[in-house]
Amino acid sequence: MKALLIYPKFPDTFWSFKYALSFIHKKAAFPPLGLLTVAALLPDDFQKRLVDTNVNGLTDDDLLWADLVFIGGMAVQRESAKKIIARCKSKGLRVIAGGPLFTAEPEAFDNVDSLVLDEAEITLPNFLEDLKNGHTKKIYRASEYCDLEHSVMPSLDLINIKNYASMSVQFSRGCPFNCEFCNVTVLFGHKARVKTHEQIIAELDNIYDTGWRGPIFFVDDNFIGNKNILKTEVLPALIEWRKNKKGCAFFTEASINLADDPDLLNMIVKAGFDSVFIGIESPDDACLSECHKTQNRNRDLLESVKIIQRGGLQVMGGFIVGFDSDTPSIFQRQIDFIQNSGIVAAMVGLLQAPPGTRLFDRLKRENRVTEEFSGDNVDGTTNIIPRMGMDSLMEGYRSIMKHIYSPHNFYTRVRNLLKEVKNTNFQVPIDMQRILALFRSCFRLGICGKERFHYWRLLIWTLIRRPRLLSLAVTLAIYGHHYRKICEIYLFETGDSFLISE
């Protein structure tokens, strides 16, 4: 049996890093970890081929080779997934689909032969057994969550790692919190299920043995969901692993209560992490109460961010506008918080209601759910009717993005971060592409870019004040270029760009 695994294309988003990847000549930010895990679950006698359409085009030869197609993805990849499915069906291929997109919206994919939903470790074996017996079903669902201690190692041999800016591993699934707008607990539950430290080390060894020395993303939705296992088993193992390994700085996602545990924060930094994404959402306590973001309430959010930065981690932040509790003052409050926090990568988006979440169900009852959920909350669209009105929301949203990603304000946050953070993990191994990225940034940003004054000022300041963080400064300047390009595509008309306004 010849199995073709296809990963749909991401649109241009903040998270695609498309305009940053060109500086280091990479084709995609991350490999398709879910499909690589599915490939490892397929029988040994299957011939397997993986096509990541973010890296390579899907050819007719690929389709003619295959006996059946496996496709997985997230909501933001919906349009690409639909086109791929239609193309496969036109060739007479059997299509099997799974992952967050299809689990949340199975009714939208009638032309798929089998929907293998929820966690593949449970549902895929049932499909494969039926396939062997010649009678497959339309939908396969799970009534429980899988034990990650029995999860398999992803099949890295199906990809060319040189195409990617980062590798990925997964330690846990699930989150102990219950934010109204988040579908993580819908997909994976409230209990943080974890792999053993032996599994994690084995996966890291597998990545390292390929020759990889770059960043590795722990894709957990909340890396600190099980603090006890982290402190007693996983982080000590990572600290030991790094003693004989070069490069491979880690980054992940966590909740803001990381700031409450200095021992955990210190261990995470010592284990090799240099960055963490945290959902801040809003500086307004009423909004946090509305969306049940309990872990962010009744605390000085700004000071919590500073604690994590001073502890050695760059904080990347997620922010949302469009809550029912939002008033017109929220837009300036978001701007002030972002600037004062020194969060360089501030992902500000419009509130959306993913299908299956409590937010979706509540707004559906109120007849406030509108168009299809895009899965990208920074593209200037939303699938809800905001209480403040769409025109007011969009005007305020544009004002935030225009302000925080103007060259002056963005580069000011970069300098503030470099002053605050103290971490030797930011030392990126020097390779030819990163050396060339420095020269490309000097030309594109320092000569051709409208931000050239701010770019050179940052580099000179860094060389004098924090020379060990020069690679980080250049990386963040490149990220800023990407963020501004995305904002220009989705939010601003030609000639109205914040690049030309200070």
How far is residue 416 from each of residues 86, 306, 409, 413, 473, measured CA to CA in Å?
49, 11, 11, 5, 11
pLDDT one-digit tens code per residue, 186-214: 899 989 999 999 999 999 999 999 999 99
pLDDT at 72: 97
Q: How far, in Å, are 42, 160, 311, 408 from residue 30 at the CA level?
A: 22, 12, 27, 30
Interval 254-274: pLDDT, tens: 999 999 999 999 999 999 999
Q: What's the rounded Cα separation, in Å, for the pair 249 and 229?
A: 21
CATH-assigned architecture of domain 2-140: 3-Layer(aba) Sandwich (3.40)
Architecture of domain 166-404: Alpha-Beta Barrel (3.20)
φ and ψ at residue 429, rounded to 5 degrees? -55, 135
Percent of the chain exceeding pLDDT 70 equals 96
Residue 386: which of 428, 350, 348, 333 has the closest Cα? 350
Measured over the CA atoms of residue 479, residue 485, residue 490 and residue 492, the dihedral's sign is positive
* Start-end of H helices in 220-372: 227-229, 235-242, 262-270, 285-290, 301-311, 330-341, 358-365
Asked if the model's pLDDT at residue 491 lies above 50, the reply is: yes
pLDDT at position 500, please?
Answer: 41
Cα separation, 125 vs 120, in Å, equals 8
Rg of the Cα atoms in the chain? 22
pLDDT beyond 90 at 421: no
pLDDT at 439 over 50: yes
Band of residue 310 on the pLDDT scale cut at 50, 70, 90: very high
For 218-241, the pLDDT digits (tens) are: 999 999 999 999 999 999 999 999
**CA atoms of 249 and 490, how far apart (whole Å):** 32
Render pLDDT for 116-142 as a digit per residue (tens, 0 to 9): 999 999 999 999 999 999 999 999 999
CB 74 within 8 A of CB 99: yes
98: β partners: 72
Tokens (6 digits) for 42: 């397929």
What per-residue confidence (pLDDT) applies to 376? 79
The C-alpha atoms of residue 81 and residue 83 are separated, in whole angstroms, by 5
The per-residue pLDDT for 498 is 52
| Average pLDDT value over all residues in the chain | 93
Check whether 494 has a pLDDT greater than 60: no
Gap between the terminal Cα atoms of the chain: 60
Top-confidence residue, 173 or 498: 173
| Amino acid letter, residue 139 | I
**Rounded to the nearest 10 degrees, what angle do helices 262-270 and 235-242 cross at?**
30
Distances (CA, A) of 166 to 11, 30, 152, 212: 18, 5, 20, 9
Token pair for 270: 């010592």
Predicted local distance difference test score (pLDDT) of residue 420: 84
Least confident range from 275-284, 369-378, 452-461: namely 369-378
Taking 70 as the threshold, does the pLDDT of residue 495 lie above it?
no
- Range 240-246 average pLDDT: 90
What residues are paired with 143 via a beta bridge?
A: none
- Mean pLDDT across the stretch 171-193? 92
Of 352, 242, 333, 336, nearest to 285 by C-alpha is 333
The length of the chain is 502
Spatial CA neighbour of 354 closest among 112, 185, 174? 185
Q: Work out the average pLDDT over 357-378.
A: 88
* Mean pLDDT calculated for residue range 317-335: 97
Domain ranges of the chain: 2-140, 166-404, 425-500
d(CA 501, CA 406): 7
Contact at 8 Å (CB) between 63 and 84? no
Cα(254)–Cα(414) distance, integer angstroms: 21
Q: What is the mean pLDDT of residues 423-446?
A: 78
Average pLDDT over residues 322-341: 97
- The answer to whether 246 and 429 are in contact (CB under 8 A) is yes
Residue 493 has what pLDDT?
Answer: 56
Tell me whether strands 2-7 and 68-72 are parallel, antiparallel or unpaired: parallel
Segment 64-94, tens digit of pLDDT:
999 999 999 999 999 999 999 999 999 999 9
The residue ranges of DSSP E strands in 87-246, in sequence order, are 94-98, 114-116, 139-140, 167-169, 172-173, 193-194, 216-218
